[in-house]
Amino acid sequence: MKFLFGALLLSAALASEAATELKVLVGGQHRPDVFRELLREYSQLNPGVTITLEVGGATSELLQRYLNTLLSARDSSLDVFLIDVVRPAQFAAAGWAEPLDAHLGADREAMLASYLPRYRAANTVAGRLQALPAFSDAMYLYYRKDLLAKHGVAPPTTWPELAAAAKKILAAERDPNLQGLSFQGRAIEGAVCTFLLPYWSLGGEVVRDGKLAFDRAKAEAGIAMWQDMIRQGVAKPNVAEVGTDDTRKEFQAGKAVFAVLWGYGWNLFQTGKDTRVTGKVGVVRLPAMPGGEAVSCLGGWNWAVSAYSRHKAEAARLVTWLSGAETSKKLALRASLQPVHAHVFRDPEVLAAVPWFADALPVVETAVPRPVTPMYRPVSDAIRLNLNAVLAGARSPKQALDEIEHRVGRALR
């Protein structure tokens, strides 16, 4: 009897040691409901692993602030977290992310070869793999197919064409609740892309070979274009208060003709609880500046393992599974989140569920990454805070560009 009791205790102790509890962090905008399903599936496939999902801020900036606080304190409560595509260099410099190379072993090269090239590059810092891609993204132009068809307007290919189309539709509709264009002017990460889109379209750069590369004339033209959208009544006067999900909500409620937004909006426009635009939405690549090239801002999120996790090996196995092609397909089917594998974009089942992915792949493949630097945070701060101040009427374009040039140059020294 004593032997049996001892064996039972030993068995319980071994089972306890074998059990692993992981905590995963995603943002409020990342469809936590879908990720809960996926994590339950992983636990069923791996009975010794229990996973708790924590939901952080609803924007890239809020989520980053939360991670900054935890990781600066070397907090070990998180094992896995999503980071914006712009963050791997910063996390590598801070020592916050566990390099994954050793955990992948001989499979490393084959695994990396399956991802879209921009995401392989974004997650490799100084030859070390800091994270694995979760889902890809880019900014698109969403438009009301019904309104453009009703008023004989084609999807615009330049920003002036968009302004003219919006003014024509607004004048004819006479709806005080309808705006021409919704975009992000609030001082959040999305405003960095707002600044860069027309600037990049004209061939501008911010960082080249780790040093400041700034073209004042092109930056002035980009800011003037956004100001003109407000002056012409295409965008609303308080666009400086509009964040990413505000744009999504406005368009979803049928209150905008055009919207500049990431890919996550598509699924919500079709199936969201409060949507007024089901079946009325078109999506195309963003317009170009006159004489420039159409360009999009590269987005997406990556899975990182905390450098302070007590379960790094199991956490690395989890992010490998979460980043795999099968999971990428599930995210596409369940949440319209864009894949990180080119062949999943072309999967017949995925295209049947999300037809616009056929046009999304070339945009993602050619989208431009925001400045790649360990000093991205001060670069982002300088751009978004100053653009917001201009759109709010609190600062002139000259003052804003002086400040951007000074702060970015100082950060990169």
Q: Which two tokens stand for residue 216?
A: 């004042």
Does pLDDT of 5 surpass 60?
no
Report DSSP letters for 269-305, one per residue.
Answer: HHH-TT-S-TT-EEEEPPPB-TTS----BEEEEEEEE
The pLDDT score that the predictor gives to residue 154 is 97
The pLDDT score that the predictor gives to residue 10 is 38
Does pLDDT of 12 surpass 90?
no
Q: Give, as one character, the DSSP assignment of residue 47.
A: T
Q: Domain 16-137+299-366: give its CATH superfamily.
A: Periplasmic binding protein-like II (3.40.190.10)
The band of 397, judged by pLDDT with boundaries at 50, 70 and 90, is very high
- The mean predicted confidence, pLDDT, of the chain is 93
What does pTM read for this prediction? 0.86
The band of 18, judged by pLDDT with boundaries at 50, 70 and 90, is low
Longest CA–CA separation in the chain, Å: 89
Residue with token string 């196995």: 317
Q: Which two tokens stand for residue 348?
A: 């017949």
The pLDDT score that the predictor gives to residue 60 is 85
Q: Residue 19: count other Cβ atoms within 10 Å of its Cβ.
A: 11
Q: Environment class of residue 216 by beta-carbon count within 10 Å: exposed (0-12), middle (13-18) or buried (19+)?
A: middle
**Domain spanning 138-297+372-411: which CATH class is it, in words?**
alpha beta
- Reported as a single tens digit per residue, the pLDDT across 93-134 is 999 999 999 999 888 998 899 999 999 999 999 999 999 999
Q: CB–CB of 70/40 below 8 Å?
A: no
CA gap 68, 65 in Å, rounded:
5
- Reported as a single tens digit per residue, the pLDDT across 329-373 is 999 999 989 999 999 999 999 999 999 999 899 999 989 999 988
Question: Mean pLDDT over residues 178-197, rounded?
Answer: 97
The pLDDT score that the predictor gives to residue 345 is 96
Same fold, 16-137+299-366 and 138-297+372-411: yes
Report DSSP letters for 208-236, one per residue.
Answer: ETTEE---HHHHHHHHHHHHHHHHTTSS-
Does pLDDT of 389 surpass 70?
yes
Extents of the domains making up the chain: 16-137+299-366, 138-297+372-411
The pLDDT score that the predictor gives to residue 354 is 92
Q: Residue 72: count other Cβ atoms within 10 Å of its Cβ.
A: 10
The pLDDT score that the predictor gives to residue 398 is 97
Residue predicted with more confidence, 257 or 267: 257
Contacts of 310 (CB under 8 A, 6+ apart): 76, 79
The band of 406, judged by pLDDT with boundaries at 50, 70 and 90, is very high
Q: Which of 21, 91, 37 is nearest to 63 (CA)?
A: 91
Contacts of 297 (CB under 8 A, 6+ apart): 138, 139, 192, 193, 196, 197, 200, 367, 368, 370
Question: Mean pLDDT over residues 13-41, rounded?
Answer: 83
Does pLDDT of 2 surpass 70?
no
CA gap 282, 144 in Å, rounded:
6
109 Ramachandran zone, left/alpha/beta (phi>0; psi -120 to 50): alpha
Alpha helices by DSSP H, listed for 75-210, are: 88-94, 101-104, 108-113, 117-123, 145-150, 159-173, 189-201
Residue with token string 């089972």: 15
C-alpha distance from residue 203 to each of 206, 213, 285, 352 (Å): 10, 11, 17, 36
